[in-house]
Structure 1
Amino acid sequence: ATGRDALPSHQRLRDNTGSNCRCLKPFSTLGYERGEMINCVSYCAGKEILAAGTTNGRIAMWRMVVQSGSSRGDTKPQWKLQTPTEIGGNVTQLQWGSNLNLLAANNSNTVLILCEHVMSAHFSHQVAAVQLSPTQLNITQFHTGLHFSLQSDIHVRGVCVTKDSVTVWNGKQVTVYELSGTSLRNTGSFPCDSHVVAVHGENLYTVEPNRVQIRTPQGTVKQLLTFSKAEGNPVLLNVRQSYLVVGTDTANIRVFDLSRRDAKAHCSTKNLADQIPNLGALRSVKCNANGSQVSILISQVNGRPDHKVYFYDVEMDTVTHFDFFTGRPSSGISQEEESENGHSPVSHFWDESEPRLFVCETVPVSSESILNSSLDMVDVLVVTLFCTQEHGLLLQDCSPRPPGMQALLALDVPYYYYSCKVRTEPVCVPHMVSRKALRDFVGLENCEKATRDAMLNFSFYLTIGDMDEAFKSIKLIKSKAVWENMARMCVKTRRLDVARVCLGNMGNARAAKALKEAEAEPEPETQVAMLAIQLGMLEDAENLYKSCQRYDLLNNFYQASGKWQQALETAEVHDRIHLRATYYSYAKYLESMGDKTLALTYYEKSDTHRVEVPRMLQDDTSSLEIYVNKMKDNIYKWWAQYLESQADLDSALHFYECAQDYLSLVRIFCYRGDIQKASEIANNTGDRAASYHLARHYEGHDIKQAVHFYTRAQAYNNAIRLCKENGLDDQLMNLALLSNPEDMMEAACYYEEKGSHLDRAVALYHKAGYVSRALELAFATEQFGALEMIAEDLNESSDPALLARCSDFFSTHSKYEKSVELLVAAKKYHQALELCVTQNLTITEDLAERMTVPDSKDMSEEARKELLERIADCCMRQGNYHLATKKYTQAGNKLKVIIRLCVMLLHWKRNNCDTEKIVFFANVSRQKELFILAANYLQSLDWRKDPDILKTIIGFYTKGRAPDLLAGFYEACAQVEIDDYQNYEKALDALTEASKCLSKAKDASSGQQEVRLADLQHKITLIRKFVHIRSLYSEDASEAVQLCETLLEEPELDPAVRIGDVFGFLIEHHCQQGNFQLVTANRKLEQLQKLLPSQNVSYYISQASLVALQKELGIPMDRSDKIHISKEEDEVEEDLNMF
């Protein structure tokens, strides 16, 4: 605002980020005068408030409120005009300052510093008071419908109303007004420093240090309620019915009973600091109607508001809470409700008369920092709870605060009471308090007390899930409105079982039927949504469909509601499978509304325009022709049909050709008699429909052409019919082979009846699947080539008699292999075996497996085993021992298996057969005798060079449960290690294993096993000593030599440790010591030669040591000392006479 000569009555704001400009001006409905000019402006960024001083001594303020735009994330700032502040004079200067955001104002006479004050409001006994300005209040009496305006003499800091009075105070003075009829009368005013005041009847309750004063309206103190130093100073007061709750600055609370003449303590003092962690200070305390529960809001130690509402149970002396950040109570039933999550309480109230019902106003946690400035920019929720000793805290309802409401004032069933926002538009504001019905009482606002109590009990029992008590509480109610309201409650609680009862009492058959049909849907939310639709709760139904992500049903819901834009958006984003159907439905809707242009667009989007657009425009031929030429080939066919109906055949042919409708082209050319052109089109395009039409046309006068075009149309049955009727036998065969089995059968019957081309009849019967008929005809006409082809398709599922007949045929014609296969397929196994024996046919493994009958009812177990043995005998005669052993094993004849295996082993050994076969058969048989035989045979092989054979031998002896034989094998292994490799360590391991095996064997030889085990232990002891000597040599050579000398004195040393190895050890030692011990080495060598005169000493002593002895002592080596290799081959032949 600029210029002193022409003061403006409004101010303009320009958005520097864009080109937006806005005009703000004060309205007379909020206390401004017409023609009032603005002198100065000042903006506070911290509070986002624009202040303007006027010529009439008023300060106008606009608060910036952010509102959501049409798109997500889009916000638009709005400027909300507040009630003016009057300071008198002519306001010439304004300035915001200090960290408290104070406003300094100059009105030419004085300078004032203004601070923001939260407007006071109170409700009780159907009377509400709302502060409009520092000295003005709006009073509403709901039981009479009267409204008053109270102009106080003081700047009001607090207000408290009762049925008959209004009390205001400012921290220095208290003034009491009496409500009398349609007027307010001042009945008392007295100085008092109390910053909180409560009123009950004729008594006023004020606070001062360490006590609460009970006064008369004139200020006379009637009683003192004292508090100890530990209890603290009273700072909070609240009265509900006849109970007073007091909160102190040390977080103590006390409840007093006011029903008598003097106030009496209802309970002992409760220190909440012991029960609530991180408690800083009490923000608010409220008690319920019977004084049994106290609700508390607190601030934490850091000064931030707590997210919880705490409840003190006076009778049980316990503290519980409901956390609005998590949406869960500390006790009671936890409902799955996410809407109240992430919030913090700002105000709380108990119902005026119902002690169980509690309501709390909450805001998002991120909005706590602006609670003191405005709640216009946040999503405020109103949460209602049931609070009982038995069930704890139960969430009853959660809903957003209605639009246009400033704050929650009270709860008095059946209404919530709200203070209204000040409107900016110039309309009359009759009062500043509005009431909204509770969810469960919509439509029942004027019900009697009995009905109201029944509804409350029903809601409570429904919340805790006690359906018996819920129905018991409403059994006497007959009003349909009540039952409808309870059905609405069922939408919120999602109790469909209760809803069915409610619908039945309402007599709403249509809704009951719709709900029953909705039970077919898997999601419970969809069923509840259908209930909501039937009850007219469309917003709830929409939210339910969204919550369960049933966008198809949501799409249908939008269409039925006429919300076509939402339906289209849903289909395009979430329900694309029904997108074309949605486009089509919308096009039909637009057509019904007369908007054909837009309907045409959506018919095209739904891809139904080829039919729907011509139908829609059939009365407007010119528009339709323009549309056809515009769309080109899309609807040429429809336009051609229209032209044909108008007898314009030339134009119709043109458009049929553009549409590539060859059937219609051929049809018109046939109609005109131009058969040559029609044939040309049918042959060139290969269109089946066109060819069929042309064939029907030719059928009357040109059979061959008709057959040709029926064939091109793949109408083979018609072509076959013509061939039979006109004797075209050559073409009939080819057509029948191209057609289905029924046509083949019909053609075969034709050939058979005619008596010619019977080979074709047999082939067609066979091709059609009538094998038995084909064989009968082949046998009757002796078509052997056809029989061989048919026999290739015979298997076990064919007729056994038919298989036997074919087998006899092939046997007669010396085709025995095929005959055997057919006998096996016919399950005539004995005949097949006889034929194999008589004709010396080799039984292959595949044939043997096919003749192996599994356990079944077709053959007894004895017969099955006999058959297996016969197969095995036949294989034995043919030299197929592999297969014979397998079949004997399957037959369970162990004796024959053992005998045949021995024969097989001997045969394979002579023929150097593969060892893998023996291993395979032993593993397949799983007989311990066979394992032992196989292991014995494998020992005859060179198992020393093949570790796999060695492992197999050990495994077979183990599986054959022959520990004594396994012990003997381990002894042989040990001896090999000693004789061939002088590896006594491995020999010791082998003998240890042999000892273990021998100890497990059963002694069936009258004590010989004990003797054998003792000898084995003696060998192990001697070898262990020698191994110890060799390992000790590297550490203490002299000790090792001494032990070795002692070892030579052991009796029976040589069977365990070879004497040559012991002497060799000593000689090697002496040779390594140098010249002075070579004599000793030579003496040991001479002793060895005397003990083993026939053996070559070089086997025990290294060549280097022998050369050293010869060189140093000059002793020539005897020729007898040269290495003599004796080659002896001992062959062990198996004596098979024992079998």
Structure 2
Amino acid sequence: MDLLEQVKLTGRISKTADIICVNNSLLITATGESVIRFWDLERDDNYVLFLDDQMGFEAEETINCISYCPAKAILAAGTSRGKVAMWSKVPDGRKSLRSEGKECWKLNTPTELEGNITQITLISNIFSPGSFASDSPVLAIHEENVYTVEPGRVQIRTLQGTVKQLLPFSVSEGNPCMLDICRTFLVVATDAAHFKLFDLSRREAKAHSNCKNLSELVPGLGSIVSIRCNANGSKVSILANRADGHLDSKMYFYDVDLDTVSYFDFWNGQADQQDSQPTMDTNPTETTKLLDRIPISHFWDQSEPRLLVCEAMLAIPNSAHSSPKHNQLVEVSHGKEDILVMSFFSTQEHGLLLQESFPRPVAFQSLLGIEVPHYYFTRKPGEDEDKSERAEEDTPHIPNMVAKKPLRDFIGLEDCEKATRDALLNFSFYLTVGDMDEAFKSIKLIKSETVWENMARMCVKTRRLDVAKVCLGKMGHARGAKALREAEQEPEVEARVAMLAIQLGMLEDAEQLYKSCKRYDLLNKLYQAWGQWEKAMETAENHDRVHLRATYYHYAKHLEATGDRNASLTYFEKSDTHRFEIPRMLLDNPQNLETYINNKKDKILWKWWAQYLESQSDLDTALKYYELAQDYLSLVRVHCFLRNIQKAAEIANETGNLAASYHLARQYESQGDLKQAVHFYTRAQAYNNAIRLCKENNLDDQLMNLALLSTPEDMMDAARYYEEKAEQMDRAVMLYHKSGHLSKALELAFATEQFGALQLIAEDLDEKSDPALLARCSDFFIQHNQFEKAVELLLAAKKYYDALQLCLEQNLIITEDMAEKMTVSKNSKELSEEARRELLERIADCCMRQGNYHLATKKYTQAGNKLKAMRSLLKSGDTEKIVFFAGVSRQKEIYIMAANYLQSLDWQQDPNIVNNIIMFYTKGRALDLLAGFYDSCAQVEIDEYQNYEKAMGAMMEAYKCLSKAKMRSPEEQERRISDMQNKITLVKRFIQARRTYSADKQEAIRQCEQLLEEPDLESAVRFGDVYGFLVEHYAQQGDFQKAYRCLEEMRSKIPSVNLSYYVSQSTVEAVYRALSIPLTHQTTEHVRHNSIEDGEEVEEEADIDYDG
């Protein structure tokens, strides 16, 4: 490109020149002056055009911009005072257009506008069909009608201003102040918060709904700020002020069909709770974005009645909506975007559903509306159009101040046909609802990969992997389908979804999914594949330490691939792979490698370097590094190669290295030095090779020692060797024994009569050995009077009866361990159940003979013979176990046996024994025996403690038992009942006499004298107790003669009477002293002695309750 000419233009410095070129030769410029300058390049001529004051232009008015229309030859200019000056070119027919000057331009009457005109464009295909003057603050256009407002009505005019129809509003309804048209429906709002919907689809506008008062529907509201209706006239959305004049954070929805009002509050994300009201069916993260906001604009789609878009700004903390709690929320959420654009689907069935939300791009000024597939915005001044927008040539031109943004599900499909657009819209709706099946059906016939990719991306959000498989197939994404199929083995749904996200390039989503399911191993792999090495290592260090070394290793490989070898050294060392990776990496620089190895002082690296030097035939240096690495095998190997056998032997002997010794042994064997070969094979623990040499060279003495050190297989081999030679059979027996072949060892021991070895072998026999062999050994021990060992072998051979018989014959004590070995389990197939029980009883009988009653009881119980078990236990005298066994046996006979045993004890001093006796007789249903026990208790109370009250209680219990008993002899039962009744009667009479004494002494004495006349009194009441009562009475009354007579009668009826047992010592002495009868020394001592005993007995009296 060549510069032809350069010209300096005059004008204001602050103004930008507007230059146009006409016919490639005429330059027209406006530089902020009151003139337009022309420069004719062909004629090298210039001239100017002025603004004419007579046309209404002002003196200080300047020209800011110009535009030329070649089709009509009109030049237009915009001025600083809002006027449009237009010059028409009037050429002379005799001259060309190029040769004419300023005389050919005619200034026309200007058009007056408001403001400062900064840009002007002449468009030849736009014309004005009409114009008219109007004072309406708002207007709307539908087809060829213009809708304006004036007090009390809405005017429907033609494009030329003719009024076609009036839509009146009453005074109470207010004056129309807002209009909105969507498709064929008009909504009108008044300054009195009323609104009304009209249908414009007919020749004349018809009311689509009655006029509604928003203040009545929603109390507490002020005026309407903005109103919109949807494409089918079923919904009206409203923004309003509150009564205090502040913007309301709620957006209200009027449902025309249901005649209801619902709302959604952008401040707290809540909707009203009525069934017909909108709901926010979205996740918590999306809902959080909506909090603390106020809606400022809203629009319905022009063709889709379900789709609504709105702008919501972040509320400032000091606004009227704020509260302390919300102020904190705003402070916490200071990172939120100021303006958020949100699209919703609104239906009666699902309510209000958030479809998409995004921050308004910084280049855009405000939302203009929505028409699928685009949102429309006004652009901020100075912001250029996107290249993508300028590249669209087939679509109508969008002015520079208007921008558009495709809906999320229409990215890449902005130019699709209507069928595809409707299918995508339904797809978007069902995705928002969460119905993936219907969403899939809506687009199953679409072949666009972009649609299926969007569907697959939504599957990441909805976690529908089944649908994702179909989408990947439609996309032809074979790699992704394979990866998703392989990910099915992961147990977490999030991990499988994350793999889908990775295949679709949604790496941030995959990252969050792995974090949510705590699959840090997969997150680590993602970071590595993503190139986020810092995050990968941080994740491995904090959460995935099992893969920490692998992460370091992969990062080292990455650094090596990028040429950063120094850094890779560090991470190879951290991954503990430096011992083989660094030599590989530095092999092309041996000097650096040697320096690194010498600095690390690592044995493995020294060994590697020694092997490298050996491969380079530098054996002396290699020996040095082998020694540093303590690789004794390599040292011995190299010395053997150098024929330094003696040095190699010294190293092997000093270090004891097995591999080195083995290598040296092979060298000696190859040289024929068998002694050294056997020695070093032994040091290498290669006993089989040493044994081989001994067998081949008849070294029998060394063979035995080596075989005992070696494996059982080698022992067997050596044993067969000795057996075949038939010279040292004792060694063969020992080796068979040590190798675990006991049967072979026993056979050989019996055959060669090695009885000492036989005893050693028998100690290792057990139940797993051959029964015939065990029996043979047991016979051997019986012959040699080793009966206990014979019993053990018989038990191991499961010859239980023989073992038991041997115990009986030789009086061997059966231990619990022996008894358990004789006991066969119930499910065993060795013996029948009857034989098993018989064996157990025989074991128990033997234990009984030996006095081992507890073991006998156990075996009787295992045999199921509880009666014999109880008899054995009774012989043991273990009261606690007897009571326990009786309680768990639950047999009548055992209860009775236990109770009988307990009666043989000193039950008078232990109430627990008494209670157990009563319980066992009761459970054994032995009521006659229980009655006898109660009778015994009564006699003890009378004889020992003279407690007739307790005795009578025991007798009453005995009477109850006898009454309930079912004895074999009814006559015997009747006799015992009669006797018991007689005893009870006598005891009651004596008790009554003693109780009457305090009230009527004479009556009590009379009753006692009558009792003494009863012929069988002694069976129930003791004579001594009655006489003692009378003696005490007479002594207290001072009638010592009668008292003495009662004492004498007592002696006559009870010759061996112990007076002090019935009468106190002081009373006896008083009687004898009053009658001057000497008290014999024998009587005095006897009295004193019995008095002491009585006191002790009283103190030890047991407190036993017989009343049940």
**TM-score of the pair, normalised by structure 2:** 0.71
2:625 aligns with one of 655, 676, 679: 655
1:826 aligns with 2:784: no
How far does residue 939 in structure 1 lie from its aligned partner after superposition?
A: 0.7
Aligned residue pairs: how many? 944
Is structure 2 residue 821 aligned with structure 1 residue 855?
Answer: no
Please say if 1:745 is aligned against 2:687.
no
- 1:708 positional shift: 3.4
Is 1:962 aligned to 2:904, yes or no? no
1:366-409 CA-partner distances (Å, limit 9, x unpaired) = 97969999999524766554433334455545666667666666
- Give the residue type in structure 2 aligned to 1:743: D
Pick the aligned partner of 2:232 from 285, 290, 298.
290
The question of whether the paired residues in 1 share the 8 Å contact of 2:228 and 2:237 is answered with: yes
Alignment equivalent of 1:315, drawn from 257, 263, 273: 257
Aligned residue among 462, 473, 483 for 2:442? 473
Distance 1:712 1:274, change over 3 A: farther
Q: Aligned pair 1:865/2:865, yes or no?
A: no
Partner Cα separation in structure 2 for residue 573 and residue 694 of structure 1: 51
Cα deviation for residue 467 of structure 1 reads 5.4
**Mapping for residues 553-572 of structure 1, pairs under 5 Å:** 553-572=522-541
Q: Give 1:962 shift.
A: 3.2
- Aligned residue in 1 for 2:287: 340
Does the C-alpha gap of structure 1 residues 312 and 523 become closer, same or farther in structure 2, counting only changes over 3 Å? farther
- In the TM superposition, what is the alpha-carbon distance from 1:923 to its structure 2 partner? 5.7
The aligned runs of 1:676-687 (5 Å cut-off) are 676-687=646-657
Q: Which amino acid aligns with 1:485?
A: N
For 1:835, the equivalent position in structure 2 comes to 806
Gaps of 5+ in 1: 1-31, 36-148, 154-167, 171-177, 1072-1076, 1129-1139
**Structure 1 residues 425 and 770: CA distance shift in structure 2, 3 A:** farther
Match of 1:266 in 2: 209
The question of whether the paired residues in 1 share the 8 Å contact of 2:366 and 2:378 is answered with: yes
Paired with 1:795 and 1:888, the residues of 2 have a C-alpha distance of 27
Task: Say if 1:929 and 1:443 are closer, same or farther in 2 by CA, change over 3 A.
Answer: same
Instruction: Tell me if structure 2 keeps the 8 A contact 1:637–1:659.
Output: yes
Determine if contact 1:1063/1:1085 at 8 Å carries over to the other structure: no
2:463 aligned to which of 494, 497, 503: 494
Q: Aligned partners of 1:483, 1:717: CA distance in 2, in Å?
A: 72
Alpha carbons 1:256, 1:267 under 8 Å: kept: no
Q: Please, which of 1019, 1037, 1044 is the counterpart of residue 1079 of structure 1?
A: 1037
State whether residues 385 and 403 of structure 2, in contact with CA within 8 Å, keep that contact through their aligned partners in structure 1. no
Query: Measured at CA, do residues 654 and 424 of structure 1 come closer, stay the same or move farther in structure 2, by a change above 3 Å?
Result: farther
Tell me: CA distance 1:884–1:565, structure 2 relative to 1, closer, same or farther (3 Å). closer
1:1116 and 1:272 map into 2 onto residues whose CA distance is: 130
Shift of 1:920: 6.1
Check whether the contact 2:230–2:300 (CA below 8 A) recurs between aligned residues.
yes
Aligned to 1:693: 663
Distance 2:243 2:977 in 1: 88
Contact 1:811 1:819 in 2 (8 A): yes
Confirm or deny: 8 A CA contact 2:993 2:1008 kept in the other structure: no
In structure 2, distance between residues paired with 1:546 and 1:837: 78
Shift in CA distance, 959/179, structure 1 to aligned 2, threshold 3 Å: farther
Q: Distance in 2 between matches of 1:1042 and 1:438?
A: 124
1: CA distance, partners of 2:1039 / 2:133? 138
How far does residue 615 in structure 1 lie from its aligned partner after superposition? 1.3
Q: What is the 5 A alignment of 1:345-744? A: 345-347=293-295, 349-359=299-309, 377-379=335-337, 384-394=343-353, 396-397=355-356, 410-417=369-376, 431=400, 434-464=403-433, 466=435, 469-633=438-602, 635-701=605-671, 702-744=673-715
> How far apart are the structure 2 equivalents of 1:200 and 1:586?
66
8 Å contact 1:343–1:363 — kept in the other structure? no
Q: Measured at CA, do residues 200 and 879 of structure 1 come closer, stay the same or move farther in structure 2, by a change above 3 Å?
A: same
Q: In structure 1, how many angstroms separate the alpha carbons of the residues matched to 2:240 and 2:988? A: 87
Distance (Å, rounded) in 2 between the aligned partners of 1:751 and 1:618: 58
| Alpha-carbon distance between aligned partners in 2 of 1:307 and 1:1028, rounded to the nearest angstrom | 100
The answer to whether the Cα contact below 8 Å between 2:1030 and 2:1046 also exists between their aligned partners in 1 is no
Partner Cα separation in structure 2 for residue 422 and residue 1008 of structure 1: 130
Provide the rounded CA distance (Å) in 2 between the counterparts of 1:151 and 1:1115: 165
Q: Please give the secondary structure, in 2, of the residue aligned with 1:626.
A: helix
Please give the alpha-carbon distance, in whole angstroms, between the structure 1 residues aligned to 2:163 and 2:256: 31
How much does 1:300 deviate?
8.7
- TM-superposed CA distance for 1:612, in Å, is 1.4
In 2, Cα distance between equivalents of 1:180 and 1:646 = 90
Uncovered stretches (5+) of structure 2, i.e. residues with no partner: 1-12, 17-77, 83-112, 116-121, 323-329, 391-398, 1095-1108
The 2-side partners of 1:990 and 1:249 are apart by 107
Instruction: Return the alpha-carbon distance in structure 2 between the equivalents of residues 752 and 661 of structure 1.
Output: 43
Does the 8 Å contact 1:239/1:245 carry over to 2?
A: yes
Quote the offset at 1:441 in angstroms: 2.5
Indicate conservation of the 8 Å contact 2:1060/2:1087, yes or no.
yes
Contact kept, 8 Å, 2:537 with 2:551, in 1: the verdict is yes
Q: Secondary structure at the match of 2:609?
A: helix
Work out the CA distance in 2 between the residues paired with 1:828 and 1:947.
Answer: 50
Q: Is the CA contact (8 Å cut-off) linking 1:762 and 1:786 kept in structure 2? A: yes
Aligned mates of 2:989, 2:1089 — CA distance in 1: 31
CA RMSD of aligned residues (A): 5.7
For residues 454-500 of structure 1, the C-alpha deviation after alignment (integer angstroms, 9 at most, x for no partner) is 12323434555655544433343233333333222222221111111
Counterpart selection for 2:768 from 794, 797, 804: 797
* Partners of 1:241 and 1:353 within 8 A in 2: yes
| In structure 2, C-alpha distance between the alignment counterparts of 1:757 and 1:310, rounded to whole Å | 112
What is the identity, as a one-letter code, of the residue corresponding to 1:573? N
1:515 Cα deviation (Å)? 1.1
Q: For each residue in 1:79-99, what CA deviation from the matched residue of structure 2 results, as whole angstroms up to 9, or x when unmatched?
A: xxxxxxxxxxxxxxxxxxxxx
Structure 1 residues 485 and 758: CA distance shift in structure 2, 3 A: same
Letter in 2 for 1:605: K
C-alpha distance in 2 between matches for 1:794 and 1:1125 = 72
1:346 is paired with a residue whose SS is strand
Percent identity, please. 59
CA contact (8 A) 2:363 2:380 kept: yes
TM-score, normalised by the number of residues in structure 1: 0.69
- Aligned partner of residue 489 in structure 2, secondary structure: coil
Contact 2:249 / 2:294 at 8 angstroms: preserved in 1? no
> How has the CA–CA distance of structure 1 residues 1038 and 888 changed in structure 2, closer, same or farther, with 3 Å as cutoff?
closer
Question: More strand by proportion, 1 or 2?
Answer: 1
Q: Is the 8 A contact 1:340 1:398 kept in 2?
A: no
Structure-2 change in CA distance of 1:298 and 1:1013 (3 Å) = farther
- Tell me the distance in 1 between the aligned counterparts of 2:785 and 2:376: 111
CA distance in 1, matches of 2:1040, 2:309: 117
Q: Equivalent residue for 1:81?
A: none
Aligned residue for 1:811, secondary structure, equals: helix
**8 Å contact kept, 2:691–2:703:** yes
